[in-house]
Structure 1
Amino acid sequence: MRRLRSMTAFGGPGVWLWRWRRNPLRRRSDVLEAWIVSAAWLGTVVGGVLTGLAATHSVEGGLARERAEWRPVVALLTQDAPGATPASGSGAGRVWANVRWTGTDGVSHAGQARAAAGSPTGTAVTLWTDWDGTLVTQPSTASEAHLRAAMVGVMTGAGMAAVPLLGGRIARDRLERRRMAQWDEAWARFGSTWGRKTG
Structure 2
Amino acid sequence: MAGRTRTWLWRWRGNPLRRREDVLEAWLVLVVWVIMAVGGTVAGVVTAQGADGVFARQRAGRTPVRAVLLVGTPPATAHSFRSPAAVRWTAPDGSVHTDKTLVESGRPVGSAVEVWTDARGDLVTAPTSGTEASVESGLLGAASAFALSGVVIGAGSVVRRGLDRRRLAQWDVEWGVVGPRWGHRIG
TM over 0.5: yes
Aligned to 1:33: 25
Percent identity, please.
39
- 1:23 corresponds in structure 2 to 15
TM-score of the pair, normalised by structure 2: 0.86
1:105 is aligned with what amino acid?
D
The answer (yes or no) to whether the contact 1:44–1:163 under 8 Å persists in 2 is no
How many residue pairs get aligned? The number is 183
- The alpha carbon displacement at 1:133 in A equals 2.0
Distance 2:144 2:78 in 1: 35
Partner of 2:65: 73
Aligned to 2:54: 62
8 Å Cα contact 2:73/2:108 also seen in 1:
no
Displacement of 1:32 in angstroms is 1.0
Match of 2:140 in 1: 152
Q: In structure 2, which of residues 95, 109, 124 is the aligned counterpart of residue 136 of structure 1?
A: 124
Q: TM-score, normalised by structure 1?
A: 0.81
How far is the alpha carbon of 1:118 from its aligned partner? 4.1
Say which of 98, 104, 115 aligns to 2:86: 98
Alignment-derived partner of residue 78 in structure 2: 89
Give the residue type in structure 2 aligned to 1:120: P
- Cα gap change, 1:90 to 1:194, in 2 (>3 Å): closer
* Residue type at the aligned position of 1:140: T
Unaligned runs of 5+ in 2: none
Q: Does residue 14 of structure 1 match 2:2?
A: no
Q: Is the 8 A contact 2:87 2:100 kept in 1?
A: yes
CA distance in 1, matches of 2:169, 2:106: 78
Does the 8 A contact of 2:86 with 2:99 survive in 1? yes
Q: SS state of the match for residue 112, structure 1?
A: strand
Indicate conservation of the 8 Å contact 2:46/2:141, yes or no: yes
Greater helix fraction, Structure 1 or Structure 2: 1
Aligned-pair RMSD on alpha carbons?
A: 2.2
